[in-house]
A = this chain, B = another copy of it.
Amino acid sequence: MYRIGELSALYDIKADTLRFYEKHGLLSPSSRSDSGYRLYNQDDSERLKFILRAKAVGFSLNDIADLLSIEVDKSNRACAEVKGLVDSKLEQVEAKLAELQHFAASLKSLSNTCCGGPDSAEHCSILEALESSDQHIIAKKEQHHFSHSGHKD
C-alpha cells in the first residue's frame, strides 16, 4: 500500500497529478485509510504505470481513458464491443510503431554513416536518411471529448 506521496515519488510525478488523474477518472486509489488518506495498491501502481507509458508514446489522457474504460466496463460490455475498441487502438499503435521504426532506422543509419570524428558533418542529415518515405499516417485524430469539467462533479 502506497500513500499518495510514496506513489508519486515512485514514478517521479507530483501528488497533485495523482489527484488530477483521480478527478478525471483515470486512477482512483483502491482504498482510503481510516483517516481518509489515499491508499494505492500494486494494481493501482500498475495502472499508473500503464497511464504514464501510454502518455510517453503520445496518447492523450482521453485516449488513455478510452483504453482504461475497457478494464472498467469489461463485465458490462459485449466482447464484440471490446474487440472493436481494442482493434481500433491497435491500429493507432501500429501506425505509431511504423513511424517509430522508420525513425529508429533513419537515426541508426545516420549514426552509422557518421564517422563520429572531429570533421564537419556535411553528409549527416536525418532528412536525407528519411528521404524515401511514403506512408502518411498523419491524419485527423478522433476527438473524444475528455470533458475537462463535467466528469462526475
Contacts and interface: CB of A to CB of B under 8 A. Distances in A.
Interface of A: 11-12, 43, 46-47, 49-50, 52-54, 56-58, 67-68, 70-71, 74-83, 86-87, 89-90, 93-97, 99-104, 107-108, 110-111, 114-127, 130-131, 133, 136-140
What number of copies of this chain does the assembly contain? 2
| Residue among A82, A120, A125 with most chain B CB within 10 A | A82
A56 B94 contact: no
Nearest to A136: B49
Contacts of A125: 70-71, 74
B78 A119 contact: yes
Contacts of A114: 79, 82-83, 86
